[in-house]
Amino acid sequence: MSTNPTIVPPSEDGGGLDQIRPYLEVIRRRKSIVILTAIGLFFCTAILAYRLPNVYRSETVILVDAQQVPSTYVQSTVSTSIQDRLSTIQQQVMSPTRLKRMIDKMNLFPELRGKVNDEALVQLIQKSTTVDVGGRLSSFRIAYQGENAKQASEIANELAATFIEENLKAREQQFVGTAEFLDAELQETKTKLEAREKQLQTIKSTYVMDLPESKQFHLEALNNLRTQLAASQDRVNRAKQDKIMLQSMMSTNPPTIDLDTGPSATGKPSSLQAQIQKVQSRIAELQVRYGPNFPDVRKAQAELDRLTKQEAAEQAQAPPPVQTERVVTSSSKRNPVIEAQMEKLNQEIEEQTKLQAPLQQQIDMHVSKLERVPIFEQQLAGLMRDYDSLRGHYQSLLDKKLSAQMATELEAHQKGERFMILDPAPIPDKPFGPNRGMISLAGLVVGLLGGIGLAVVIEMMDQSVRSEHEATQLLGVPVLAGIPLIRSEAQIRSRRVRFLVSAVALAFFSCCVGLLISIIAGKLGLI
């Protein structure tokens, strides 16, 4: 016997049938192995599929109801998208703590209590629950499958209610968090705004004369004070000029008789002297009021000259005066009227000079205030910018707070986005799985494939020569004739009986193996 491979390679000039013909020959020769292997796996799989418990699936549909009021009117404060929020809610609902609480609340899996730990029960619910989100997120499905139909419906509905509750809590937390944040920011901004406003009021009340608004007041006051100072200076100058004029008049006027020292010859003052004094007094008043070049002053001066000449002529013709009468000589010229006017002018000069000092102080004060206005205006502008910025920020926060309050009211009246159970999870009438027919068919297919593989392995391990072609390749000489294997009817029947008995025995053995596997898996909690 040769040790070459027993599978004859296909001929180079053959077609596709020639390529698979050796394998078909192997299957034909080893068909009993292929059939027995398929029977064994089929019956074992069928028993396992039959022993699998029924699985019931209950599903509920949750509708994502959009906000009923347009967002252009009321802007929601929930910033997360539905998909992100749904993913977060799913993690929260399917957390071990939440599921453990649900198991205790609903008294789930009483038959498994004590046999497995809580983690295994939680994992069982997690593996048995599916959340299917739609493409447009207008709805999503929550399904649960288990061995108990009623329990599957209860768990699915409970999970759906938990999803809705967690969504409301998540939205409420965002609303409350937004409101608390806005309240805190609003209060802090209000405190800063009040402090800045108080600071501005203090500055304006303390430095009221330094404010930019007082610039016009300072200018007007400065103009008035300068006008008053100029007027006072003019009055002083005019009084000084009048004083000089009166002094010149006293030096040029004729001597005046002192009537108080003694009586005249007739015992009465001369009427001509009284007229002269009256004209002199009038001239002094007119000069003070109108100046020396006024026509009335010139006219009065001419009248005074005339009266003076007339008095001189009368004195020349009159007898000499008595010894008790005293004449004022040229060396002692005095005029009581002019002296009174000079005294009045001196008093006015003194009063106006004293008045100019406070006027100048006020002018200097207003000038210093005007010089400080630009500096103070720049400082005040910086404070006003901060105040306006804080006021704008406060108004913005106030608008956002009002918007958040409207959004909260919207949620309170169930007008915002919400989850609604469209179809509650019903109690299933028939099991969702397992599909025993498909499992058995899969076992049969796997058995056929396994039998073919086993037949190929046995064929490769068999070193016998089975055809003339193999003999020619092994011996290197052509084979003239081949003698086929001839079996009698008795041999054929005996072979068929043995195959049938083997198939029945293998089927029974496979059923026992499948039953044993299902029992062990059931004890281990695998099925």
pTM for this predicted structure:
0.50
Structural domain that includes position 294: 217-383
**In the chain, what percentage of residues exceed pLDDT 70?**
79
When pLDDT is averaged across residues 120-138 and rounded to a whole number, the result is: 81
Q: Per the domain annotation, does 190 fall within a domain? A: no
Confidence of residue 410 (pLDDT cuts 50, 70, 90): low
Does the pLDDT of residue 134 top 70, yes or no? no
Confidence of residue 490 (pLDDT cuts 50, 70, 90): confident
Residue 428 to residue 148: CA distance in whole angstroms: 9
Take residue 305 and report the two structure tokens written for it. Answer: 């000259």
Take residue 304 and report the two structure tokens written for it. Answer: 């005074």
Q: Per the domain annotation, does 430 fall within a domain? A: no
**pLDDT tens digit sequence for 460-480:** 887 777 777 777 777 777 877
pLDDT score of 408: 66
Q: Per the domain annotation, does 501 fall within a domain? A: no
DSSP 9-31: PPPTT--HHHHHHHHHHHHHHTH
Q: Per the domain annotation, does 289 fall within a domain? A: yes
pLDDT score of 144: 92
**pLDDT tens digit sequence for 180-194:** 777 888 888 888 888
Confidence of residue 527 (pLDDT cuts 50, 70, 90): low
* Structural domain count of the chain: 1
Q: Per the domain annotation, does 230 fall within a domain? A: yes
Residue 191 to residue 189: CA distance in whole angstroms: 5
When pLDDT is averaged across residues 36-55 and rounded to a whole number, the result is: 88
Residue 459 to residue 32: CA distance in whole angstroms: 13
Q: Per the domain annotation, does 509 fall within a domain? A: no
Q: How far is CA 220 from CA 141, 216, 223, 224, in A?
A: 83, 6, 5, 6
pLDDT score of 66: 63
If one compares 504 and 334, the residue with the highest pLDDT of the two is 504
Q: Per the domain annotation, does 232 fall within a domain? A: yes
Q: How far is CA 316 from CA 309, 310, 321, 364, in A?
A: 11, 10, 12, 64
Q: Per the domain annotation, does 4 fall within a domain? A: no
pLDDT score of 2: 38
Residue 353 to residue 361: CA distance in whole angstroms: 13
> CB-hemisphere CA count at 13 Å for 132?
9
Strand residues in 229-299 grouped as ranges (E) = none
What does the mean pLDDT of the chain come to?
77
Does the pLDDT of residue 496 top 70, yes or no? yes
pLDDT score of 302: 80
Residues 6+ apart with CB under 8 A from 40: 447, 506, 507, 509, 510
If one compares 333 and 250, the residue with the highest pLDDT of the two is 250
Residue 85 to residue 78: CA distance in whole angstroms: 10
Confidence of residue 14 (pLDDT cuts 50, 70, 90): very low
* Least confident among 13-17, 308-312, 458-462: 13-17
Confidence of residue 378 (pLDDT cuts 50, 70, 90): confident
191 backbone dihedrals φ, ψ, rounded to 5°: -60, -45
When pLDDT is averaged across residues 65-84 and rounded to a whole number, the result is: 57
**pLDDT tens digit sequence for 190-215:** 888 888 888 888 877 777 777 777 77
Residue 321 to residue 327: CA distance in whole angstroms: 9
